């Protein structure tokens, strides 16, 4: 029984972390008014790069760092398309996402199906040795805790800092922001880079900690869940985090219930995480005023100076 509890809670934290990084990055991107749908591809590139680098150098830290760089690099392709060539956000995002999936296969080619030793857990002394609580909360790898820190960092950045105010202004009305002298294109560009790097870290977490192996297609649709989480989480970091943990919890519960032998059709169980997460987030955000307040008004619209 206790084993199960540890599995469920500790597992949830780990399952949600890759989603969390990517979703927080995408929140900043969308708050700046850009819709980047290429998360799946960016996570895949991050995962493949992280695995390759960590295998070759033996260093997980450089794995994460170069994964962030690689995905940010891929996101510049998207940024150039939508910011300078004014391409449609949706089409450019899809194209770059597919490009990313292909690139990830190429990058990881020599390591297909290989495993790696996972990122080691943080030893927090007596905290980690606490009965039950130690295993559930205090014996994870450092990136998982960084994920939790990022929730609050992004929340503070967007709603309490001047930079956040500028990002939101650019996402609400780029014309007004530009008129008072903010470099709209530059801010959007940096937001996209940040989103790319975060997606890369999410992908890296997937292969360096959560599932320590590389195989093509390993991201398995998580990038699309991230897009849904951001929208249904109303672009608010705390809600998005809640959604990510909820998704992680229900997807583990699904496997757990199957193992217990309940006669619920497993196809329905497999759909559960998506249904539960979306239904709960939709119910939480059904207030139309809330939507008006949080939805970036110029989301997904191309903008150039003389518009």
Partner 1 sequence: MKKLNRILPGALLGLAATLSLGTTQAQDVFKIGYIYPSPAADVGWAHELDEGRRAVEEHFGDKVESVIVENIPDGPDAARIMNQMAAQGVDMMMLGSFGYMNDGLKTAKRYPDIDFIHASGYKTADNFGNFLTRNHESAYVAGMAAGYVTETGNIGMVASYAIPEVIGIINAFTLGAQSNNPDISVSIVWLNSWFDPSKAQESARSLIAQQSDVIFSIYQDTPSVVTVAEEEGVYVVNTSSDMKPYAPTHLLASMKVSWGDYFIEQVQASMDDSFTGGSFWGGMADNAVSVESISEDLSAEQRASLDETIKAISSGEFNPFTGPIIDQDGEELLAEGETLSDADLLSISWLVQGIETRLPK
Q: Which is nearer to partner 1, 8 or 276 (CB)?
A: 8
Q: Which is nearer to partner 1, 153 or 215 (CB)?
A: 215
For residue 230, the minimal CB distance to partner 1 (Å) is 21
Dihedral-angle region of residue 304 (phi above 0 means left; psi in -120 to 50 means alpha; beta otherwise): beta
For residue 12, the minimal CB distance to partner 1 (Å) is 10
For residue 128, the minimal CB distance to partner 1 (Å) is 18
Give the DSSP letter string of 11-80.
Answer: HHHHHHHHHHHHHHHHHHHHHTT-----HHHHHHHHHHHHHHHHHHH--HHHHHHHHHHHHHHHHHHHHI
Q: Which is nearer to partner 1, 157 or 204 (CB)?
A: 204
Residue with tokens 């990517």: 22
For residue 119, the minimal CB distance to partner 1 (Å) is 13
For residue 259, the minimal CB distance to partner 1 (Å) is 5
3-state SS, residue 216: coil
Rounded Cα distance between 118 and 130, Å, is 23
Q: Which is nearer to partner 1, 6 or 146 (CB)?
A: 6
For residue 91, the minimal CB distance to partner 1 (Å) is 22
Binding residues (CB under 8 A) for partner 1: these are 3-4, 6-8, 11, 15, 105, 109, 112-115, 206, 210-213, 215-218, 220, 251-252, 255-256, 258-261, 263, 265-267, 270
Rounded Cα distance between 47 and 66, Å, is 10
What are 213's strand-pairing partners?
115
SS3 string of 248-294? HHHHHHHHHHHHHCCCCCHHHHHHHHHHHHHHHHHHHCCCHHHHHHH
For residue 258, the minimal CB distance to partner 1 (Å) is 5
Distances (CA, A) of 170 to 26, 32, 160, 164, 267: 15, 5, 16, 10, 43
Q: Which is nearer to partner 1, 142 or 212 (CB)?
A: 212
Q: Which is nearer to partner 1, 213 or 284 (CB)?
A: 213
Q: Which is nearer to partner 1, 196 or 203 (CB)?
A: 203
């Amino acid at each position: 029984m206790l084993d199960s509890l540890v599995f469920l809670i500790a597992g949830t934290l780990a399952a949600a972390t890759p989603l969390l990084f990517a979703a927080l990055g995408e929140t900043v991107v969308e708050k700046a008014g850009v819709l980047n749908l290429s998360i799946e591809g960016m996570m895949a590139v991050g995962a493949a790069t992280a695995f390759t680098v960590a295998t070759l150098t033996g260093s997980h830290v450089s794995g994460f760092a170069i994964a962030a760089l690689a995905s940010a690099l891929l996101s510049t392709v998207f940024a150039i398309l939508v910011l300078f060539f004014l391409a449609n956000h949706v089409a450019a995002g899809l194209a770059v996402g597919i490009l990313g999936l292909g690139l990830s296969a190429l990058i990881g080619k020599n390591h297909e199906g290989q495993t790696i030793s996972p990122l080691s857990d943080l030893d927090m002394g007596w905290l980690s040795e606490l009965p039950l609580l130690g295993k559930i909360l205090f014996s994870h790898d450092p990136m998982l805790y960084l994920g939790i820190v990022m929730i609050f960092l992004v929340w503070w950045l967007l709603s309490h800092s001047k930079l956040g105010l500028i990002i939101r202004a650019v996402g609400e009305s780029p014309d007004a922001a530009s008129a008072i002298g903010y470099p709209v294109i530059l801010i959007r560009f940096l937001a996209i880079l940040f989103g790319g790097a975060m997606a890369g870290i999410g992908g890296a977490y997937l292969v360096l900690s959560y599932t320590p192996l590389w195989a093509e297609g390993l991201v398995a649709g998580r990038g699309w869940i991230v897009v849904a989480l951001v929208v249904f989480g109303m672009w608010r970091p705390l809600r998005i985090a809640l959604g990510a943990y909820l998704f992680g919890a229900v997807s583990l519960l699904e496997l757990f219930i199957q193992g217990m032998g309940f006669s619920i059709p497993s196809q329905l169980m497999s759909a559960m995480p998506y249904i539960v997460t979306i239904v709960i987030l939709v119910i939480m955000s059904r207030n139309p005023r809330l939507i008006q307040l949080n939805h970036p008004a110029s989301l997904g619209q191309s903008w150039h100076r003389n518009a």
